[in-house]
Chain A
């Protein structure tokens, strides 16, 4: 087995774990594994950002700005910290389309799901953030779907991206965040966990959450790979 990122050969050290078969294969070499930093310690309860405060400044702003304090997103959990290494890996994975790099992230992504979302009922749906048709054709896959598919709940692709429809009057919210680019193709009446690769400002996830909520979804959470 070679490291998925640097192609260095991985020589497994013999431990009880390797002698007992059926453990997870190693996707990254020890040096690259070191770069992959799992988020832990004090974090904003809402967006997973490293923060000493219980609710970070950005999230306070979301609370007051999004439709009268009703933030459609319950909370987001991110798995990894964003660093230069992560930026390079993600860009080769999703923009260059190096599909199999994604495998390196899945074990942790699944573990964090079990850790934080086990309380949700079994009819919870995983909804990946969709790509536009054009992007999808270009890259050949949607990284969010890959993440969604590895989780132990039903994946429901119920969102679709809509394209540049002209719009005359913008609401206050739209001025802040732009037009909502999503529409719902099918209503979901169960809780939803949105799956995506990166939480940067949280706008995309809130757009997705708000159309789901408008269409009868009770609670929406998010599980993202990195906190940008």
Chain B
């Protein structure tokens, strides 16, 4: 084994924990790397008297393990059903950890090719991130309102990390956000190789110094990154799925830095901030310097009856026809896929000169529709909470039908309201909550938006 080869292997496999089928080496070479302890097999599923745990995703839930008669050895094995989309993990297939030489990532004295300028509040946030990375602090929470421009805010921190020869991962809950971030960051670091990892992505092996990935993809790493930036840390599925924090914690080096980004911190983080257990920085201003639009309530007594037959409520139509800026596109949130489809059909019948589409999570043409809406190819987009975050449209009004439905919790409503007024050319935007009984979440969302505006220096 010569040095160049060894270096290539550590570039490919350092910090990874993989199934044999994910390691693209032929059997003799692989065996040799095992013999020299460059790869070490570790059990993929650990069982004791009380419970079983998948060592890749951390799953411990009994209903998410299955048993299967093994084709190679004839015994019945336990396998993990939770992370099966990444290749089946079972008791007779170990995971392989790289235990060979560490990869020595290059130091980039100034990798940044971005020439834009940060606003004052962005600068404050960016400085805190740089310091956290410089001083190898354990954690930092960046609380930046929707539209603060957090991608730009990350650039100085990433530049700093690269200066120290660090390996960096920017993790975000959704694949479409990964795809949106890649070209923007590639432009900001034009000479650096950046890889994007998500289910079905072209980059598979993750051999770059800077990785943008869905939080799911972090399950393939162990002690790989010096700095991990977790975008939308409050978002579903990160908070509801214990395997994602499990994976994120393991992917980072023990002495590494974790930066959390959020516009709507969950209670647990708010409490840690209040008790000063979690260092944080608050970025209260949108990059264009205007306040967040404050939602207005509209009562619709007939909501349930209307929506049962996919009929748009009268109060909604009345508002729609009298909008202050009818030239704006409209983003209409509804609580379910069925409603999104049914309502967009009925609305098309009623609003003749308005072109309407619907999107939801299992819609295969989702990305295309989002792009078309962004290009102003149609006027009204009916959507489920799938577009609540991560996506920006320049000038839209936002309406939520059945805002009192349980899918719209406080964070979701704040995020939804944050879709309006994103453009410096049209920095306002109407946000309407249509409901038939105000919920605690609706009130909390409005209070929290007002509070953030106040902290940003607005009345």
A99 near B71 with CB under 8 A, answer no
A86 to chain B, nearest CB (A): 13
A99-B79 contact, Cβ under 8 Å, with A7-B64, A92-B84: yes
* A89-133 contact mask (Cβ, 8 Å, vs B): 1 or 0: 000100011111000000000000000000000000000000000
* A1-15 contact mask (Cβ, 8 Å, vs B): 1 or 0: 110000100000000
- Contact pick for A136, options B67, B71, B79, B85, CB 8 Å: B71
Instruction: Give the chain B neighbours of A137 by CB distance below 8 A.
Output: 71-72
* B58-76 contact mask (Cβ, 8 Å, vs A): 1 or 0: 0001011011111110000
A98 near B70 with CB under 8 A, answer no
Tell me which residues from 58 to 116 in chain B have a Cβ below 8 Å from any Cβ of chain A. Answer: 61, 63-64, 66-72, 79, 81, 84-85, 88
Q: How many residues of A contact B (CB 8 A)?
A: 14
* A65-106 contact mask (Cβ, 8 Å, vs B): 1 or 0: 000000000000000000010000000100011111000000
A100-B68 contact, Cβ under 8 Å, with A2-B63, A84-B362: yes
Instruction: Give the chain B neighbours of A98 by CB distance below 8 A.
Output: 66, 81, 84, 88
Binding site for B on A (CB under 8 A): 1-2, 7, 84, 92, 96-100, 136-137, 140-141
| Chain A residue with the shortest CB-CB distance to B71 | A140
Instruction: Give the chain A neighbours of B362 by CB distance below 8 A.
Output: 84
Give CA–CA (A99, B68) in the complex, Å. 6
B56 to chain A, nearest CB (A): 14
B63 near A97 with CB under 8 A, answer no
A97 near B84 with CB under 8 A, answer yes
B70 near A140 with CB under 8 A, answer yes
- Contact pick for A96, options B67, B69, B72, B88, CB 8 Å: B88
A140-B88 contact, Cβ under 8 Å, with A84-B362, A98-B81, A99-B79: yes
Q: How many residues of B contact A (CB 8 A)?
A: 16
Q: 17 A-B pairs, CB-CB below 8 angstroms?
A: A2-B63, A7-B61, A7-B64, A92-B84, A92-B85, A96-B88, A97-B79, A98-B84, A98-B88, A99-B67, A99-B68, A100-B67, A137-B71, A140-B68, A140-B70, A140-B71, A141-B68
A4 to chain B, nearest CB (A): 8
Instruction: Give the chain B neighbours of A84 by CB distance below 8 A.
Output: 362
A94 to chain B, nearest CB (A): 12
| Chain B residue with the shortest CB-CB distance to A88 | B362
Instruction: Give the chain A neighbours of B88 by CB distance below 8 A.
Output: 96-98, 140
Instruction: Give the chain B neighbours of A92 by CB distance below 8 A.
Output: 84-85
| Chain A residue with the shortest CB-CB distance to B86 | A96
| Chain B residue with the shortest CB-CB distance to A103 | B66
Give CA–CA (A98, B86) in the complex, Å. 12
Give CA–CA (A2, B66) in the complex, Å. 12
Give CA–CA (A96, B71) in the complex, Å. 15
Instruction: Give the chain A neighbours of B63 by CB distance below 8 A.
Output: 1-2, 7
A142 to chain B, nearest CB (A): 9
Q: Which 3 A-B pairs have the closest CB atoms?
A: A2-B63, A100-B66, A99-B68
| Chain A residue with the shortest CB-CB distance to B62 | A2
A141 near B69 with CB under 8 A, answer yes
Instruction: Give the chain A neighbours of B68 by CB distance below 8 A.
Output: 97, 99-100, 140-141
Give CA–CA (A136, B69) in the complex, Å. 12
A216 to chain B, nearest CB (A): 31
A96 near B85 with CB under 8 A, answer yes
| Chain A residue with the shortest CB-CB distance to B80 | A98
Contacts beyond the supplied A100-B66, A100-B68: 12 A-B pairs with Cβ under 8 Å: A7-B63, A96-B88, A97-B68, A97-B88, A98-B66, A98-B84, A98-B88, A99-B66, A99-B67, A99-B79, A136-B71, A140-B71
Instruction: Give the chain A neighbours of B72 by CB distance below 8 A.
Output: 137, 140
Most buried by A among B61, B79, B81: B81
Instruction: Give the chain A neighbours of B79 by CB distance below 8 A.
Output: 97, 99
